[in-house]
Amino acid sequence: MAYRGRIDLRLASRVLLLQLVLVTLTLVVAFGLFAQFNRHRLDLQYGVHALDIARVVASSPTVLTNISRYDQNPLTPSPALVDELAAGPLQSVASRVEQRTHVLFVVIANIQGIRLAHPHRDKLGRRVSTDPAEALAGHEQVIHQSGSLGRSIVAKVPVVEPGSNRVLGMVSVGISTKAFDEQFSKNLRVLAPLGGAALLIGVAGSVALARRWRGLTLGLRPAEMAELVRTQAAVLHGIGEGVLAADETGGITFVNDEACRLLEIGNDAGRRIDQIGLTPRVLDVFTAAEAAPTLATVGQRIVVVSARKVSRDGRELGTVLVVRDRTDVESLTRQLDAVQVMSTALRAQRHEFANRLHLLTGLLHTGHVEEGLQYLEELLGSGPLASAVPGIDAIRDTHLQAFLAAKAAAAREAGVTLRIGESTWISRPARVARRRHHRGG
């Protein structure tokens, strides 16, 4: 039973929700990883692009020729210097590169880090806003930085004098992160429909799997299945009958302890029904699913078995075999049969004795005393009922003795004498004789 205030969902519904959560989380993680990978790829791509432009500018003959003109004396920003730099060849090269490559800026600085070319006129002749030490030390560098022109991906390349390793200055090329972000957003917009399609496929697969689970669990809730298992264990192991269940393919799904004892088998759940050692008679009853109780012999026991198909909502679930012990009942039945036979024999003896007394009375009344005495001596010599069947002492089974004595008495009433052969000897109860008694009635 579900607790109050708690939503008790069917197992199929729980599987569906779990699948949807897993699919969604997987797609979110995959989307995040892709976004991270794509951002890293774009970062490298833009960085290489900026680095290539900076290398081309740094190796330009115009730059190599004119970058050292202002190294002799420290530069002081002045309108004349700004005008000279703005009209100079370095600014011309930087401006042409900016226009053709659509980069954010191209800055050329000398060995002191003073800007000799810059997109903004008022920045000329002043020191660069970021640390130029790495590039001026002769090392190329690609970084994200926030400078006077905003956030950008910047490639810094040293300008090296041809034929030597002397650094003359540096070239700094920046690509705006706005273009980077626009490209990144475009890639994500392309990926979003693919992620949505994958989510729809995952939802469809989850729904199909949930339906499959609903069919396998018969629409039961987890609490119902747990209660069903507990009830089944309590009932099937607590009853005095043996229960054996198999699925529609013949695989054993349940065997209780009483069934193991009565059928003399092990608890072989999972094996096939024809591989666990059932007797042919019991196996035939199970295979035919005979609901009528059927007697069968298993070892020294006599059992009653019945089987029936089990289904739910029109679906075959398997077969259940029920076993009851009839050994004690059969023993009592045999004893009752013996008593009934003895009762029949006594009635026959009484009837026969009454007939003999009537005959003796008639002889005496008619004056035939000597014939009456002779007949009386014959009666006294006949002894008890059992002695009327010569050779019956060779049979040790008391039930069979009573049966033969009753038949001998009935035969005598019909004028027939029943004799036991001299070579007859039975040392223990004969099941065959009992069966013949049932057939002979």
Domains of the chain and any CATH numbers: 12-183 (3.30.450.20), 238-381 (3.30.450.20), 386-435 (no CATH)
Alpha-carbon Rg for the chain in angstroms: 56
Mean pLDDT, the chain, rounded, equals: 77
Written as one letter, the residue type at 94 is A
pLDDT band at 266 (very low <50, low <70, confident <90, very high): confident
Percentage with pLDDT > 70 across the chain: 80
Average pLDDT for 380-403: 63
Which has more pLDDT, 162 or 236? Answer: 162
Q: Place 221 in a pLDDT band, splitting at 50, 70 and 90.
A: low
Q: Between 238 and 307, name the one with better pLDDT.
A: 307
Q: What is the mean pLDDT of the segment spanning 88-99?
A: 90
Output the pLDDT for position 238: 59
Q: What is the pLDDT of residues 276-324, one digit of tens each?
A: 888 888 888 888 888 888 888 888 888 888 998 888 777 788 888 888 8
Residues 55-82 pLDDT 10s: 999 998 988 888 888 776 667 777 888 8
| CA distance to 103, 368, 396, 419, per residue, from 427 (Å) | 118, 47, 5, 19
Kindly report the pTM of this predicted structure: 0.43
pLDDT computed for residue 6 by the predictor: 45
Grade residue 11 by pLDDT with cuts at 50, 70 and 90.
Answer: low
pLDDT digits (tens, 9 = 90+) for 20-40: 788 788 878 887 887 788 778
Q: What pLDDT score was predicted for residue 77?
A: 73
C-alpha 403/C-alpha 338 separation (Å) is 7
The first and second tokens of residue 403, run together, are: 């049966």
pLDDT above 50 for 440: no
Which H/E stretch holds residue 301? Answer: strand 301-312
What's the count of helices (H) and strands (E) in the chain, helices before strands? 13, 10
Question: Would you place residue 385 in the very low, low, confident or very high pLDDT band (cuts 50, 70, 90)?
Answer: very low
Q: Residue 386 — very low, low, confident or very high, per pLDDT cuts 50/70/90?
A: very low
pLDDT at residue 174 is higher than 70: yes
15 vs 156, which has greater pLDDT? Answer: 156
CA distance 89 to 335: 132
Q: Which of 211-220, 245-254, 314-323 has the lowest mean pLDDT?
A: 211-220
Instruction: Identify the band that residue 7 occupies on the pLDDT scale cut at 50, 70 and 90.
Output: very low
CA angle 224, 229, 232 (to 5 degrees): 120
Amino acid type, 65:
T
Residue 374 sits at the vertex; the CA angle it makes with 368 and 378, to the nearest 5 degrees, is 140
pLDDT score at 171: 92
Q: How far apart are the first and last CA of the chain?
A: 57
Q: How many CB atoms lie within 10 A of CB 403?
A: 23
Q: Say what the pLDDT of residue 254 is.
A: 79
Order of all β-strands in the sheet with 141-147? 115-117, 105-110, 167-176, 150-160, 141-147
Structure tokens at 411: 């035969």
pLDDT exceeds cutoff 80 at 215:
no
pLDDT band of 170, cuts 50, 70, 90? very high
Q: Which two tokens stand for residue 334?
A: 């045999």
Question: In this predicted structure, what is the pLDDT of residue 388?
Answer: 54
pLDDT for 28 equals: 81
